[in-house]
Amino acid sequence: MKKKVNVNALFLGPKSENYTFFKEMLNFLMDDHAAWRQDFHPDDAPIVTGKEQTQQDFLTTLQKTREALIELAGNLQIKSMPWFSPRYQGHMTTDTLMAANLGYMLTLLYNPNNCAYEGSPATTALEIEVGRQLAKLMGYDPQKAWGHITSGGTVANYESLWLARNLKSIPSALRAVMPGLVADLDEWQLMNLPTGKILDLAERAQCAGIFDEMRRQSVRGKGMAKQNLGKVLVPQSKHYSWTKAVDILGIGQENLIFVPVKDNYRMDITALKREIDRLVETRTPVLAVVAVFGTTEEGAVDEIHEIVRLRDCYEVQGVSFYLHIDAAYGGYARALFLDEDDRFLDYNKVSRQHAGQGILHHDTDWLTPEVYEAVKAMPEADSITVDPHKLGYIPYAAGAIVTRDRRIIDIISYFAAYVFEKTDDNPMLLGSYIMEGSKAGAAAAAVWMAHKVVPLNITGYGRIIGYSIEGAYRFYRSLIAAHPIRVGDKQFEVLPLTRPDINIVDYAFHELGNGSLDDMNRLNQSIYEQCSYKSGPVYGSDFITSKTALTREEYGATPQLFVKKFGIKEGDWERLGSVYVLRSCILTPYFTNNTTYEEYWQNFIKAMERAISRIGTSA
């Protein structure tokens, strides 16, 4: 058996427990970089002389740097969020890996720009390697797939829709430049070719020497004015980037359809089928379907396997669409399902492996068949967004996109004359194939370092993420079992929104016997304001949480099912159409220890009791 990583040795630690090692590595990277500068043409005379370094203006300038740094340090300590602490249960961020931090810090001294290989010969190679690693993690063949680092999941989502949009227009473009290739297909058939078939046709156009002309006849050259590429279907739980994406790419928000979610906040597959059937009936193409692996509000995992099955059934009927998975948040959790040799585990072995390796306790029944099958089906998607700066525990900014078939990047590639030589067939000309231009090589180095230290399977990332899921699931079970909090002559209950698919838990407090949704919303908003930056510097807060509002506008009638559990008057939901809930993103791996968890749970309950008491006092 390969050695598993010790999670406690990966982070600086909530109390800087690994400070000595981290500082030792900081000294090494500074010494190493300084030696690199000194050894570059060592016979060159120093530019800055010892005499100049003793002059007053030189010393004054250094002092200004020192003072600015001290001011920044003070500002950061007062106003920053303590991601490192298990008391932080707010947004989707937490402590970052020492390896990633050190890789970033070392590389920023070299300041590589991964737009072009000439400006980043070291880190461009690292980014290509990282792209293959992420492709393998998602279940793709790394030799056939393509992946790269972005500034975040938003840009990765933009790129996926950019790919889908341009790809959808290729068959019609081929009819214009090489009609013999598609002579037996009508317009509806052209708009419903599977991704692989389109890329095969594009490859034939490339062999025929008409690839550039084909692209000029596509949406890339002709624009969206005369194009009807169809609708983009996303779940109601989608990230806000999709609303932006259809705007930026000229698809238009009227072509973005929100598919209802069920009471577990996963996409309703029956509703998805109903929507696609309606579009097929009106001969309206489906440009793309987006599934979410870890929604930002609830952490829900859409039933990807059912969407894949649905797509397969439609393709038999001559209807197809691009499938993208927005796994910006949850993508790295796939490591939980890969054994020490990166093989995907059978369902009946997953829980045994988790328990046997001490990742999840044997009595934790977190994994459901639906989540397992969704994870297993991920390689069937055309592209996937995954963010190293979320469950990869990498410092910002590091998102990523991976595509199943690397041929697709030729559909959107560009060459800027002053950056690239068009005759250069170097495969590492990143700037030609991506949406962004200049980009920090340090981000790629940080991800590479993390992957070098933490395996992308059950022995590495699986342990970190498994610990966080264990903590989230315990928190969920504790909420269910919690006794009402008594404050004066009133009692307050707390209920979770839904069972967590990963490690996000939403919940709300409610005064027993009070049927007012207005009062319930005010209660939870007041609790949030006491447990966030709203109450002033968060360093003194007992717990830090986040919040969200589940509205009728965004989610339809689904949140009403949660509201009913509290005995809220039905008319209140009809009138307000919004319920305010607290959200805990439990990314910390430090809740696994029994003693630690019980201590933090009791602290949490006491903190909530104090918060509710203060609300009563202020009222």
Distance, CA of 464 to chain centre: 16
CA-wise closest residue to 95 among 80, 114, 74, 110:
80
- Listed in sequence order, the residues at least 6 apart from 602 whose beta carbon sits closer than 8 Å to its beta carbon are none
The Cα 359–Cα 457 span in angstroms is: 12
Phi and psi torsions of 201, nearest 5°: -65, -40
- Which of 140, 329, 396, 418 is flagged as catalytic? 418
Active site residue 396: no
Report the candidate in 408, 387, 168 with the shortest Cα–Cα distance to residue 288: 168
Strand order in the sheet with 256-259: 146-150, 399-403, 383-386, 322-327, 286-292, 231-235, 256-259
* Both tokens assigned to 181: 């290739």
| Dihedrals phi, psi of 581, to nearest 5 degrees | -125, 155
Compute how many other C-beta atoms are within 10 angstroms of the C-beta atom of residue 65: 9
Task: Name the token pair of 560.
Answer: 């009403």
137, 151, 586, 292: CA torsion to nearest 10: -60
The reported pLDDT for the residue numbered 398 is 95
Mean pLDDT computed over 250-273: 96
CA–CA distance, 199 with 175 (Å, rounded to integer):
15
DSSP, collapsed to helix, strand or coil, labels residue 432 as helix
Task: For residue 106, give Cα distances in angstroms to 103, 123, 216.
Answer: 5, 12, 43
Strands 146-150 and 88-89: unpaired
Give the closest residue to 188 by CA, choosing from 205, 203, 202, 168: 168
Looking at residue 147, what is its pLDDT?
Answer: 95
Question: 367-424, pLDDT tens digit by residue?
Answer: 999 999 999 999 999 999 999 999 999 999 999 999 999 999 999 988 644 444 444 4
Give the pLDDT confidence score for residue 117 in this predicted structure.
79
Beta bridge partners of 551: 578
The domain locations on the chain are: 45-80, 482-618
Q: Tell me the percentage of the chain whose pLDDT exceeds 70.
A: 95
Q: Give φ, ψ of 292 to 5 degrees.
A: -120, 130
Least confident of 82-96, 338-352, 517-531: 82-96
Q: Which pLDDT does position 86 carry in this prediction?
A: 87
For residue 567, how many C-alpha atoms fall within 13 Å in the half-sphere facing its CB? 10
Task: List the one residue out of 599, 188, 117, 195 whose CA is nearest residue 406.
Answer: 195
Q: Which pLDDT value is given to residue 541?
A: 63
Tokens 């990765």 map to which residue?
Answer: 156
User: What is the residue type of 79?
Assistant: K
Inter-residue long-range contacts of 528-535, CB under 8 Å, 24+ positions, other chains counted: 528/580, 528/582, 530/611, 530/614, 530/615, 531/582, 531/607, 531/611, 532/90, 533/81
Instruction: Give per-residue pLDDT as tens, 143-190.
Output: 999 999 999 999 999 999 999 999 999 999 999 999 999 999 999 999
DSSP string, 62-89: HHHHHHHHHHHHHHHHHHS--TTSTTEE
The whole-angstrom separation of Cα 321 and Cα 326 is: 16
Q: Is the pLDDT of residue 561 over 50?
A: yes
Residue with tokens 């949490």: 604
pLDDT digits (tens, 9 = 90+) for 282-301: 999 999 999 999 999 999 99
* CA-only gyration radius of the chain, Å: 26
C-alpha to C-alpha distances, 71 to 26, 62, 141, nearest whole angstrom: 22, 14, 49
* pLDDT at residue 419 in the model: 46
pLDDT for the residue numbered 540: 61
Give residue 103's pLDDT band: very low, low, confident or very high (50, 70, 90): very high
CB 566, CB 577: distance < 8 Å: no
48, two tokens? 């800055």
Residues in contact with 421: Cβ distance below 8 Å, sequence separation at least 6, in sequence order: none
Task: Provide the pLDDT for residue 415.
Answer: 65
CA 61 to chain centre: 42
Residue 74 pLDDT exceeds 60: yes
Mean pLDDT of the chain: 92
Q: What is the pLDDT of residues 51-63, one digit of tens each?
A: 999 999 999 999 9
Kindly tell me if the per-residue pLDDT of 246 is higher than 70: yes
Q: What is the pLDDT of residue 451?
A: 98
Across 34-48, 91-105, 110-124, least confident range: 110-124
Helix axes 98-108, 19-39, angle to 10 degrees: 20
Provide the pLDDT for residue 297. 93
Other CB atoms within 10 Å distance of the CB of residue 312: 12
Residue 401, amino acid: I
Residue type, 301: V
Cβ neighbours of residue 570 closer than 8 Å, sequence gap 6 or more? 564
Q: For position 424, what pLDDT does the model report?
A: 44
Nearest to 164 by CA among 12, 288, 57, 13: 288
Rounded to two decimals, the pTM is 0.94
